[in-house]
Structure 1
Amino acid sequence: MADLTHFNEQGRAKMVDVSAKPETTRTATARSSILVNAEIYEAIINQNMKKGDVLAVAQVAGIMASKNTSNIIPMCHPIALLGVNIAFDWEKEQQGYRLGIETEAKTKGSTGVEMEALTAASVTALTVYDMCKALDKGMVIGPTFLVEKTGGVSSSDYRRQVNQTNRD
């Protein structure tokens, strides 16, 4: 079992000291999704939502959230993000339309960017929900997961092994 590094000698929470870690280029990719009905799908792709361009607003919200991850996740280090990208894809399903959200975050530092990528994916999906909830509150968010992370010295790169639909 790995050492639990987020606890001090008294067994209380602490922020891990990463000052001895070398700075390396670090990247992370995360995915989330939101399942919407046909009415919402049509409104989004035709940009007919009263609140505006859903994907543009959600993309900006995701980027802003990634930059503020350390403000909402207590033990996350504030890091300087060097790049954040959010891409969308649609998939028709039996229950409706699934908006896939893929986020990529990049930094050069002594700690990773997994939480920033995951936060961006989550907030992007939440923003789509917020902008579309007047049409249907039954939208389903998720799953949300880390796809890949690179960089760092103490831990190896990670690539998620998933089934063919990326929904396990």
Structure 2
Amino acid sequence: MAKQNNSKSKPFYKRVWFWIIVVLVILVLGNLGSKKNDAKSSASKDSVSKVDKKESSSNSNSSAKTENKIQKWSQTDYDSLAKGDIMNNGSGGANMDDIVNKFGKPSSSSDSSVNNMNTRTSIWTNTNGGITANVTLSFVKQDNGTYLLYSAAATGLK
């Protein structure tokens, strides 16, 4: 008569080969995930450097002349800004170079052109130490290359 084997076999999750496969799968998936993150990080760094280069070239005539000063705007500073008339090409408005010399270069700037009028909008963020304190100034370009203030907005100033 044949001898019966009454001993039960181990469940698969208690076998060595199962855990070796699990570890290998985790290593492979972890390696793939880190490569994707590296690719995304590299792509985002490239796009940021392109934006920085573009922004710095558009601001080269005014912000390159000054060092990055601490941006300490007060409500009094903002209220004292002379705003020019947009219909008269910003006549009477504060000069952007003077503002940058006093408060440092803006956090961001963008240039636009409408009906042969070139404008620049500059934003100073986290001014006066507040995370919500911002100053947004709009300038119109003059024939001599300078910019005169014609519009201003601020939030959170003290």
- TM-score (norm. length: structure 1): 0.28
Q: Relative contact order (C-alpha < 8 Å, sep 6+): which is higher?
A: 1
Structure number with greater Rg is 2
Structure having the higher strand fraction is 1
- TM-score (norm. length: structure 2): 0.30
Structure having the higher helix fraction is 2
